[in-house]
Structure 1
Amino acid sequence: MSGPRRIVLTGGPGSGKTSLIEALAATDHATSPEAGRAIIRRQRMIEGEALPWRDRALFAELMLDRELEAHARADGADGPVFFDRGVPDVVGYLTLCDLPVPAHVERAAHDVRYDRVFIAPVWPEIFGQDAERRQDLDEARRTFDAMAEVYPRFGYDLIELPKAPVTERLAFVLETIREA
């Protein structure tokens, strides 16, 4: 297959990434859900320690493992795969938390590659919190800033998503990768 195969949607929490991933899935595109949400759900279920409010470093390690697994699964896909975050997000998360970035995490972000990266800007009008998203709007802004810094550091050009309804964002993403 020609064209981009691994496409990341990144940005701050509450900026519409997951809604866009769900729209892509509904139109029969291969997707990979956000690792952090799944980890939080499972860790809460078992009263585990790998939660961002208990052990951020352990949470980051589990996110890295899931992102690596998702990236490897994409090898078998017939077309593009859309990821709700990618390996560099783990570096951004650790940086945001003022935690050291272990060499193996840095190496993974350098070696595990994606073809396109879209970044969702902070969008206060749609921002919301829930049981898994405890960040406030200020942390959403800082997360966006961290991702906007970290991805270019690993050699990616960021494509900013428009602040538009999901159907328009979907059309924008599909047209952008079609042009690639």
Structure 2
Amino acid sequence: MNPQSDNFFILTGGPGSGKTTLLSHLAGMGYHCMPEAGRAVIRQQERLGGAALPWNDKNAFARCMYEHDMAAYRRACAMTGLVFFDRGMIDVIAYLQLEQLPVPKCLQAAASRCRYHKTAFILPPWPQIYRNDHERRQDPPTAIATYKAMMKTYAQYGYTLVQVPCLPVAQRAAFILNEIAFRQTQEG
């Protein structure tokens, strides 16, 4: 396990809950932030004419997300200070479970070996801000099912989930930073 991982914090939840906006805000505050694999893979596959898209080949899409998340984790290992991830390897496992697809042993092993801070932040469904776009094609019930799958899978892997309240983005960022400061005080 990487000793830096105590500084690695996941933001997870269903699609359309404000994760990317929150990560952009944290990046604007000067924190290291790793972008979401799903959107990056969709953009790359469409640019290349590839088939590893969630509406074409879910297994290939998951494999590409896993590779993206591993690369992000490795990059983060060279960083100092807090690093925020827009989802992580556990999310890929939850995606496969939600889609009732097998989870490769290499992904299970990586999720057990490449740990993030034991506290992960989950953003609940927020219908008032939910919007579909070219890359987000899920309907609101699927977004809720994804949220529930994330809760279950993170618990399976021993993470403590802290629900981020539905607040303006600056208040959400402050909530997360205060929670981290509190937990680091308790741990240290």
TM-score normalized by the length of structure 1: 0.97
Task: Look up the match of 1:160.
Answer: 163
Name the CA distance, whole Å, in 2 between partners of 1:172 and 1:26.
16
TM-score in terms of structure 2 length: 0.93
1:173 pairs with 2:169: no
State how far apart, in whole Å, the 1-side matches of 2:80 and 2:148 are.
33
CA contact (8 A) 1:23 1:170 kept: yes
Measured in 2, the distance between the counterparts of 1:123 and 1:44 equals 28
Match in the other structure for 1:60: 62
**Cα distance in 2 between the residues matched to 1:3 and 1:97:** 29
Correspondences of 1:111-126 after superposition (within 5 Å): 111-115=113-117, 116-126=119-129
Q: Is the 8 A contact 2:19 2:123 kept in 1?
A: yes
Contact 1:3 1:177 in 2 (8 A): no
Please state how far the C-alpha of 1:139 moved relative to its aligned partner: 0.6
Q: Which of 86, 89, 92 is the equivalent residue of 2:91?
A: 89
- Identify unmatched segments of 5+ residues in structure 1: none
Give the aligned CA root-mean-square deviation in angstroms: 1.4
The residue aligned with 1:98 is 100
Flag as ranges the 4+ runs of structure 1 deviating above 2 A: 1-4
Residue in 1 aligned with 2:112? Answer: 110
Code of the residue aligned with 2:145 in structure 1: it is R
What residue is the counterpart of 1:41 in the other structure?
43
Alpha-carbon distance between aligned partners in 2 of 1:150 and 1:133, rounded to the nearest angstrom: 21
Instruction: Give the count of matched residue pairs.
Output: 180
Contiguous gaps of at least 5 residues in structure 2: none
Q: Is the 8 A contact 2:26 2:173 kept in 1?
A: yes
